[in-house]
Amino acid sequence: MPKPTLVVESDDPQVGLLEAAGKLFRQKGFAATTVREIAEAAGVWPGSLHYYFPTKESILLALMEQGIASAESGFRRALEASDDPIDRIRLAIRAHIRMLVGNEAGTYVLLYEGRGLTGDARTAMVRLRDRYDALWDGLLYQALGTGRLQSGIDVRLTRLFILGSVNWVAQWYSPDGGRKPDEIGDSFADTVLNGLVG
Amino acid sequence: MPKPTLVVESDDPQVGLLEAAGKLFRQKGFAATTVREIAEAAGVWPGSLHYYFPTKESILLALMEQGIASAESGFRRALEASDDPIDRIRLAIRAHIRMLVGNEAGTYVLLYEGRGLTGDARTAMVRLRDRYDALWDGLLYQALGTGRLQSGIDVRLTRLFILGSVNWVAQWYSPDGGRKPDEIGDSFADTVLNGLVG
DNA sequence: GTCTATACTCTGATAGAC
DNA sequence: GTCTATCAGAGTATAGAC
């Protein structure tokens, strides 16, 4: 039996392994997932896994790099729909939630499995996360510049507030749960923006 | 060398083990922490650990039970300071953050290490978490009843929004970070309450 | 009640056939 | 490039001395 379960679609083993690892890391966590499980879910034998990825940690790293790339490009794409910084906050919130609940397992892993990386890989990851945070801070500064928000706002704290509520969506969202991702995003954006305008 | 490191204060080994496990689970995650590490940090030999806790999972469960008890009593105590439901939301937010960033490792573990439990223990945990959520929903309904909030508010979504932002504090808070827990809570409460009043 | 020694399983990773 | 077979080490848990 060359391909035991074949849970994953892609023909390219490297892509299939990443996809399988993403699902498992999200479901069970990095440390609790074994390389054998990943290989099986990808329809590959355990030994072959190490041909594509030298270590388990390198799979996590690749996944996170994919996650940060998707987060950044999603953020930038969202901003194209409007020039108004206040509108753009809403658009960015929606985009962030869509990524988190979508198939892009990398984004979830990026948020919640950072402890799995050690040494240089970890510092590299933190730097990438900081870059995404900086995108948000820039947007929030722009919004402040319009004069339509309260003047005393702490940008960093506001970013942490917004990202906290949206990141948490990944913990409770269910596709059968009634609310669609964009509806959740709009509801959150309503409260946040209304709260910041005062 | 009977007590190798003695990182933990308590004399009662059971308490010391829980304390040590809480710190390690919070720092490295449940799956990545070994029972040897817990035993060493508590100043107990690995074999003795299993005298107090039959399995590693039972340590996690005990920690979570401690966490939910502390969360519930903290919530109730916070409400004693005011009779106004709107004020109480602020007080509950502050209390929740204080618990998360304080020593009570159980609260953190309760939020982020639920995957470590399996079977009956897991369903039991979910039920306990639901009970805490119900406390919040009750408070939010009360606040709605005052007529001072927007009428169309979705209580569940609002609770998830608030708890998301405050739960995330556990991921970034640092004691050296300038802002004290209550300041963070007040800032969040300002934005949320202002946003819900409209 | 606490520690020593160890059983046994599972883990990540490798070597080498094909 | 992919699979088979296997290694060395780490994992939880146990048995039994004291």
| Nearest CA among B95, B194, B178, B108 for reference residue B136 | B95
pLDDT in tens, A92-123: 999 999 999 986 789 999 999 999 999 999 99
A37/A144 Cα distance (integer angstroms): 48
Query: CB distance from A156 to chain B under 8 Å?
Result: no
Distance from the Cα of A172 to chain B's closest Cα (Å) equals 8
Task: Please tell me the predicted confidence (pLDDT) of residue A137.
Answer: 98
Counting every residue, how long is chain B?
198
Sign for the pseudo-dihedral over CA of B66, B72, B77, B78: positive
- pLDDT value at position B9? 59
- Residue contact A196–B193, C-beta within 8 A: no
For residue B131, CA distances in Å to B75, B83, B89, B138 come to 12, 22, 17, 11
Model confidence at B3: pLDDT above 60: no
How far, in Å, is the CA of A41 from the C1' of nucleotide C16? 25
Give me the pLDDT at residue A125, please: 94
Distance A51 CA to C14 C1' (A): 11
Q: For residues B194 and A195, what is the distance between their CA atoms, to the nearest angstrom?
A: 5
**B178 CB below 7 A from strand C atoms:** no
CA-wise closest residue to A160 among B102, B165, B176: B165
pLDDT per residue as tens digits for the range B58-73: 999 999 999 999 999 9
Question: Are A170 and A100 in contact, with CB atoms under 8 Å apart?
Answer: yes
Tokens of B10: 């308590």
Q: Do A191 and B196 touch (CB under 8 A)?
A: yes
pLDDT tens per residue, range B137-168: 999 999 999 999 999 999 999 999 999 999 99
Token digits of residue B37 = 């590490």
Counting Cα atoms < 13 Å in the Cβ hemisphere of B41 gives 17
Percent of chain A with pLDDT over 90: 88
Provide residues 3-22 of B with CB closer than 7 Å to any strand C atom. Answer: 3, 13
Q: A10 vs A44, A92, A101, B139, CA distance in Å?
A: 12, 30, 20, 48
Reported confidence tier of residue A7, pLDDT bands at 50, 70, 90: low
The two three-digit tokens of residue B140, written as one number: 């939010």
Cβ neighbourhood burial of B173 (10 Å; 0-12, 13-18, 19+): middle
Residues 6+ apart with CB under 8 A from A144: A151, A153, A155
Reported pTM: 0.93
Which nucleotide is closest to B38, CA to C1'? D12
- Taking only the tens place, the pLDDT of each residue in B99-132 is 999 867 789 999 999 999 999 899 999 999 999 9
Largest CA distance in chain B: 66
Place of tokens 């913990």: A171
Query: B77: which 2 tokens?
Result: 């105590």
Which residues of A fall within a CB distance of 8 Å from B193? 195
User: What crossing angle do the helices spanning B13-28 and B35-42 adopt, rounded to 10°?
Assistant: 130
Cβ contact B145:B62 at 8 Å: no
Domains in chain A with CATH codes: 13-52 (1.10.10.60), 61-196 (1.10.357.10)
Q: Tens digit of pLDDT for each residue in A43-66?
A: 999 999 999 999 999 999 999 999
Please give the Cα distance from A31 to B30 (Å, whole number): 9
Q: Which distant-in-sequence residues (6+ apart) come within 8 Å of B6 by Cβ?
A: B43
Q: List, as one string, the DSSP characters of A40-56.
A: HHTT--HHHHHHH-SSH
Mutation pick from B37, B117, B161 vs chain A, by most beta carbons of A within 10 Å, is: B161
